[in-house]
Amino acid sequence: MVQEEQKYSKFLAAITREANENREAFLAEMKEYKQQKIEEAEITEQQNYEGRLQKLKGVVHEDCGREISHKILDVRKELFSEREKIKNDVFEQVRVKIAEFCKSEQYNEFLKQSVGSLKEYFVDGSYIEVRSQDKNVVDALVGIPVKVNDEILLGGVRVICNDIVYDDTIDTRLANQSSWFEENSALEIN
């Protein structure tokens, strides 16, 4: 069991390491892109500002301030969009790795561990939800009904017990990592 946990930890560490490497590359690219767009906006607006200043100094000041704000908002929108694209790319790569993992023998061990950790919630009326590919494996592990839930796309199990859901699906685990990634990826936009 310790060896299985070590394998699982190594797998998660590898995914995390790869995500961090991708994040660093994306961060460098994002910083360069951000600086370039800000410089372009500043140059354009500075030229506009100097030309109008000679004619109507007061009006130009107000107009340029407004235009710079709009340009900065546009650039920020682009940066937010790019950040979301980066996150989606990283998580798509993770999904590919998870799909590979789910085809391995290690995944069956993961299912056994997951079911074992949730057995304490098995009571009369409880049932387990899994993706269709996992039904036979989980059926062999438990003595309660196993139902296919098409919302579980990546794998894992979910126990339903008296309208309480104990979710140990990879889908939920990955969704939880999305928030962590946003907080810790250093893809901040100031």
Q: Is residue 157 part of a domain?
A: no
Q: How many residues does the chain have?
A: 190
Find all residues with CB under 8 Å of 55, minimum gap 6, and list them.
Answer: none
pTM above 0.75, yes or no: no
Instruction: State the helix-helix crossing angle for 57-102 and 170-184, rounded to 10 degrees.
Output: 150
DSSP state of 135: H
Q: Is residue 62 part of a domain?
A: yes
Number of structural domains found in the chain: 1
Separation CA 98–CA 156 (nearest Å): 11
Please report the beta strands in 50-179, taking only residues with DSSP state E, as ranges in sequence order. Answer: 127-130, 146-148, 156-161, 164-169
Q: Is residue 176 part of a domain?
A: no
Instruction: Report CA 47 to chain centroid distance, whole Å.
Output: 41
**Is-contact 41 72, C-beta < 8 A?**
yes
What is the domain range of residue 83? 2-103
Separation CA 187–CA 87 (nearest Å): 9
Higher pLDDT, 183 or 138: 138
Q: Is residue 140 part of a domain?
A: no
Q: What is the dihedral of CA 5, 8, 12, 13, to 10 degrees?
A: 60
Q: Is residue 151 part of a domain?
A: no
Is 80 exceeded by the pLDDT of residue 165?
A: yes
- 85-142 pLDDT, tens per residue? 877 888 889 889 988 998 988 999 999 999 988 988 888 889 999 999 999 999 888 8
- 6-54 pLDDT, tens per residue? 766 776 677 777 767 767 776 677 778 778 877 887 888 888 788 776 7
Q: Is residue 181 part of a domain?
A: no
Residue 165 backbone dihedrals phi, psi, to 5 degrees? -105, 125
Q: Is residue 71 part of a domain?
A: yes
Instruction: Report CA 146 to chain centroid distance, whole Å.
Output: 29
Q: Is residue 164 part of a domain?
A: no
